[in-house]
Amino acid sequence: MSSPEAPARGGTLGPMAHLSRVLTVVLGAALGALGAWVLMKPASPSLPDTPSVVQQMRDVARLETLEVSLYKKVTFTPEPQATDALWKDVLNWARYALQNPHGRAIVFANAHLGFDFQRFDRSHLQVTGTRVYVMLPPMEVKVELRPGETEVIDSNLDSEQTAQLLEKARLAFEQEVRSNGKLQRRARESAERSLRALLLTLGYREVLFVDHLPAGTAG
């Protein structure tokens, strides 16, 4: 019996061998592309440490203060009754502290609304991955009179009494601003915009402003 002839050397490959070679080439190309992608992929940004974040937030918050111009006409004779409850203290002071007071004043002031970031520390932050919760510190209101524009007209007050009157007016302005919900919201929204922009720049992906931090370890 004659033995079967072996395939001639250098002959064409069978279909299975051809498929195997194609798969090997494709797999090699895929692995090469994957390796190149891993090498070229930008590294995930490392988030800064909490003390650094706190300091940068303080720096931004110092610049983010809402300023409002105010003015008020005040008549401090004994007869008229104050229609604004916040300003009754000014007229009552004039009525009981002065001898036959009379006159009027036009008082101008600037009010500054911002958050007291001197009290802001790592206990006001909670980080979970790239999400950060922020609990803002108490709001701070400061009122400064504008003496160059304030006028006291037809007054029988001496200089000390005039200074007392203006201080009472400043405190009344401060009370007025503290009770103004619209101004409080404007100041909060302005601060949140600036702080959110900062935190996103630092690498966080989600910034949530809350009244209380979620259960867990702050900072």
- Catalogue the long-range contacts made by 214-219 (C-beta closer than 8 Å, 24 or more residues apart): 214/126, 214/133, 216/126, 216/128, 217/126, 218/122, 218/123, 218/124, 218/125, 218/126, 219/50, 219/122, 219/123, 219/125, 219/126, 219/127
- Token couple for 43: 């590294």
Could you read off the pLDDT of 116-137 as tens digits, one per residue? 888 888 899 999 999 999 999 9
- Burial pattern 127-152, b for ≥16 Cβ within 10 A else e, equals beeeebbbbbeebebebebeeeebeb
- pLDDT > 70 fraction of the chain, expressed in percent and rounded: 66
Arithmetic mean of pLDDT, 96-122: 83
Could you read off the pLDDT of 157-184 as tens digits, one per residue? 888 888 888 898 999 999 999 999 999 9
pLDDT at 64: 72
Residue type, 153: I
Could you read off the pLDDT of 46-97 as tens digits, one per residue? 778 888 888 888 888 776 788 999 988 887 765 545 556 656 666 666 665 6
pTM higher than 0.85? no
The answer to whether residues 165 and 115 touch, using CB atoms and an 8 Å cutoff, is no
CA 101 from centre of chain: 46
The closest alpha carbon to 68, from 138, 171, 173, belongs to: 173
